[in-house]
Structure 1
C-alpha cells in the first residue's frame, strides 16, 4: 500500500508530523488483520492542533483567491496521480469494494476541483440604500469573510469524499481546519495531509488529529477558538454537538431512512438495477442509501420478483477483489445489530424474501416484505444492506408513509405522470426530491442536506462556503 503495513502513523499538527503519545491498532473490517498503529490524541495534542489553526487563520484569510484555488487544483492533480493507491486505502480500512472505492476517489477529485472554482467566486452585492427614505447619497455593498477555524468531524463511509466536502470549502473560503476523521478510517485522512503538504497548504492551515470522539470531538466543539463545527454522523451525536456548541456555526449532516416511491406506470426493468445499487452499494452504509421502497399495488408483485432476483446476483467477498459488490460491514457489532433488527421485523410479521443471514462480518443483502412500519428497520437508520419493500394503494399513501419519519434527507419518486411528480415534489418533507431516480443520487456541487433529524445546513461547495463565511455590510456616506 505504499507506506507499508503495521506502520505507526503520526498526527499532522502545525505543518509537522507528530508522534502520538499513545497508540491503538487499526484492523481491516474484512480480514480482521492489523493494518496500522493509529495515534490516540490527547486533549493537549488536540489543543496544539486548534492553536496551530488559530495562528494560521490570518495568513489564510489574506491569501488571494487565485492562490487558494491553485492549492486545491494541485491537490486534485496529486490525487488523480495516486487515485489507485487512494482507492486501495479506502477498500482496506473501510471494506468498501474496490470498484465503489474508485468511484469515490473520482468524485473526491471533482469535489476539490469544484472547491478550486468556487474559491474564485465568493462575492457579495451592492444595495440600493436610496430605496428607503434617509438612504440617499449612500453606497452599500456586502462581502463574505472567512470565520476562522473550522472543526471538521467526518464519518467512515466516504472517508475521502465527505472529508473533501468539509476541507474543500473551508480552504476555498480562507478558513483553517482541524480534522478529526472517523476512528475506523484515519488512513485516508493522513493520506490527504500528505497530499495537501505537497500542494503547498500554509503551515497550520490543515491539521489532522485521530483518536476518541469523546476526547477530541468534545474539545473541538467546545473550544472558543473554533468558529465552525461541521459534522457528518448520527443524529444523537449531532444533537449533542449543537447543544454544546453555543453560538458557533454548526453544520450537521445526519441520518436518514431514505425512501423510493414506485408508481404504476414505471418501466421496472429500467429502474430495478438502480434501486438495487441504491440499496446495497457499500453494504447500505450510505446516508442516502435506499432503505424503504413503497410500490403501488398494480406493479408490486412484479417489482418484488425482479428486485429479489437482481439482489441475489450480487457478489459477496474481499473488498480488494474486482468482482465484489458487497463486503464486510464496518464492525462486527453492526452485523449483530442488523440481525437483531431483521428478527424484530420478522417477529412483527415481516417476510424475508432473500438474505437475512450473516457470513462472518458480511451480512447477505436482505429484502424484507410486509414490514410493520413501527419496527427499527423502517423507523431508524439501518445503515446495513437491508431494504424493505411494502405495497401501497397510491402514490399519495406512499408520500404520507415517507413523511411519517423523524428523518428527511432525500426521497426518490418514479412516475411518468407530471402531476404526480409535482405533487410529490411539493409534499415530500425532505431536503431533496429526486424524480425518476433513487434518493441515493448526488453530484458534488448540488445543495445537499436534510430537514428534521437529518440535520441542518447544506453541503455542496457553494452552499458550504456560505455556511463557513460571515456576511459583512459596508456603507459609505457620500453626503
Structure 2
C-alpha cells in the first residue's frame, strides 16, 4: 500500500500520522497520506521564504524556461495523470483527458506569461513640481504564496495557482484537497525535474481545519489564494488581515434560453454543462431559465438527452457520470431533493441513488428559495424554469447570492448586449453554457462567489505588487 510523504525543501519527508485515502467509485483504499502538523507547515513556509530570496532574482527567461520544461514533461506523462484523476477523484476518463490537456495549456500560458508583465512611464512633468523628473512602474513578486486547492480539478486548479506564482517570481506552499493529494504530489516530481529550485514549491497534506491558521496568518505569507466552499472562504477572509487574497467560492450558475434559440443545436451542450463530472464543477449549470414559448419543447429534449448519459466506472472510456466525491454528498442531495419535493418540485428524470452515485436529475416546478436552486448543489441536479420576458429572466438570475458565470442563448444582438449590461456576474457567456472556460480568460466572481481573478495574465497581476520608481534627471 502506497504511503505518501510531504514535499519540503526539495525532499520527501515522512510524518508520524497519516490518513486513509479511498477511491470515490470503488471505495478501495488507495494510500495512507501523510498528515502534516502545524510545525511542518511552519517549516515549509520558512523554507519557501528562504528560497524566495534567490528565486526573486531569477530572470523572466529562466522562470519561463522552467515552465516550458514542465509543459514538455506533462505531455510525456498524460496517461499517468489521467489514471490518477480516475482513481483519486473518480473523474470519468474522458473528462480526465480534458483536464490534463487544459492543465498543460495552463502551464504553457504561464510560461508565456512570465515574459509579459510590463510597466509604464508616468509623465511627472504634468505637475509643476515634477519638472525634471521621470517616473515608471514595474511589477515585482510578493514573496510566499499560500495556495489551497479543491478536489474537482486537482491538476488544473493547482496549475492556476502554481503557474502564475512561479511566472511572477514567487514561491508557493501548496495545500491540496484531502481527497486529491496524489495529483499535487505528482507535480513535485515534475517541477523538480524541470529545474525549479528546491524550496520554491512546498506541498503539505493533511487537515485543512488544523493547518489553516498557519497557512493564512504566518508572517511570511504575503498572499492566500483559495478555491473552495463559501464557508471556508469567509473563515479565511477573517484571518488574512492585510495580505493579498483571491477567493473563488460557490456558484449556482444559470443559463437563459431565449425563444430564438435552435434547441436541437444546443441541447447536448446544455446537458453536458449540467452533468459533467457529476455536477461537481464550480460553474456547473444548475439553473436553466427557458422562455415559456419553447419551454415544453426544451424540457422534453433535455430529458431525452439526459437519459442517454452512461453511468458507470470512471475508468471506462464510455462513462459520462460516475461516483460523487464521497457518500456524504449523496446523502446531502437526497435530503435536498426530498425537501424540494415536499414543497412542490417534480423530478422528471433521475433522482435515484446508490451509496456513491446519484443519477443525473432534472427538476421542474421549483421555487427560488429551494436549496437545489438558491444554494450550490455541486451535484448532477438541474432545475428548469419558464419565464415570460428577458427582464424576468435577468431578475431570476440576479436574485442569487452568487455571481460567477452566467450563460445566455439568443440570436438577438440587442438582447445579448442588454443582458451583458444587466446581469450581475463575473463572466457572461453569450451563446454558450456558463461552464465555458478557457484558461487564459479572467475567471472569478462577484457577491458570495468571491473576488480576485484567475487566468494567467490576471493572476500574475494579483500575485505581484505595482512598484513606482521616480528619477530626478539631474542634481
Aligned to 1:277: 272
Structure 1 residue ranges (4+ consecutive) displaced by more than 6 angstroms after TM superposition: none
Q: Secondary structure at the match of 1:437?
A: coil
Residues 397-452 of structure 1: CA deviation (Å, up to 9, x unaligned): 01000000110001000001111101100000000000000000000000000000
Structure 2 CA distance for aligned equivalents of residues 93 and 218 of structure 1: 26
In 2, Cα distance between the equivalents of 1:55 and 1:88? Answer: 35
Matched, 1:231 2:226: yes
Match of 1:419 among 414, 435, 451: 414
SS at 1:442 equivalent: coil
Q: 1:441 — aligned with what?
A: 436
- Which of residues 189, 205, 216 is equivalent to 1:221? 216
Q: Deviations over 1:100-143 (max 9, x none)?
A: 00100000000000000000111111111111222111110001
Q: How far apart, in 1, do the equivalents of 2:40 and 2:183 lie?
A: 20
Aligned to 1:190: 185
The residue aligned with 1:78 is 73
How far 1:477 moved relative to its partner? Answer: 1.2
Find the counterpart in structure 1 of residue 87 from structure 2.
92
Query: 3-state DSSP class of the match of 2:437?
Result: coil
DSSP-derived class of the 2:56 partner: helix
Q: Give matches, 1:368-379, under 5 Å.
A: 368-379=363-374
Kept in 2: contact 1:256–1:409 (CA 8 A): yes
2:459 to 442, 464, 476: 464
List aligned pairs for 1:259-278, cutoff 5 A: 259-278=254-273
The 3-state SS of whatever aligns with 1:69 is helix
Q: How many residues align?
A: 474
CA offsets 1:355-409 (integer angstroms, 9 cap, x no match)? 1111230100000001011010011000000000011111210100000011000
Q: Deviations over 1:18-46 (max 9, x none)?
A: 01121111000100000111001011111
Task: Single out whichever of 428-437 and 129-138 deviates more from structure 2.
Answer: 129-138
Q: Which runs of 5+ in 2 are unaligned?
A: none
Q: Take 1:76 and 1:171, find their aligned partners in 2: how far apart are those partners?
A: 14
| 1:3 match | none
Question: Does the alignment pair 1:45 with 2:52?
Answer: no
Aligned-partner Cα distance in 1 for 2:132–2:294: 67
Displacement of 1:307 after TM fit?
Answer: 0.1
Instruction: Tell me the CA shift for residue 325 of structure 1.
Output: 0.2
Residue number among 388, 393, 397 corresponding to 1:393 in the alignment: 388
SS at structure 2 position matched to 1:402: helix
Q: Which residue in 2 is equivalent to 1:158?
A: 153
- For residues 397 and 370 of structure 1, the distance between their equivalents in structure 2, rounded to whole angstroms, comes to 16
- Tell me the secondary structure at the aligned position of residue 429 of structure 1: coil
Name the CA distance, whole Å, in 1 between partners of 2:263 and 2:446: 30
Shift in Å, 1:92: 0.6
After superposition, the CA RMSD in angstroms is: 0.7
3-state SS of paired residue (2:368): coil
User: Could you tell me which residue of structure 2 aligns to residue 252 of structure 1?
Assistant: 247
* Equivalent position to 1:474, from 461, 465, 469: 469
Q: Indicate yes or no: 2:198 matched with 1:203.
A: yes
SS of residue paired to 1:440:
coil
* Partners of 2:128 and 2:382 in 1: CA distance: 60
| 1:134 is the counterpart of 2:134 | no
> Which of 12, 17, 27 is the aligned partner of 1:17?
12
Whether contact under 8 Å (1:253, 1:454) holds in the other structure is: yes
Q: For 1:444-474, what per-residue CA distance to the aligned partner results, in whole angstroms no more than 9, with x for missing partners? A: 0000000000011000001000000001100
Whether the aligned pair in 2 keeps the contact of 1:26 and 1:35 (CA below 8 Å) is yes
Contact 1:153 1:217 in 2 (8 A): no
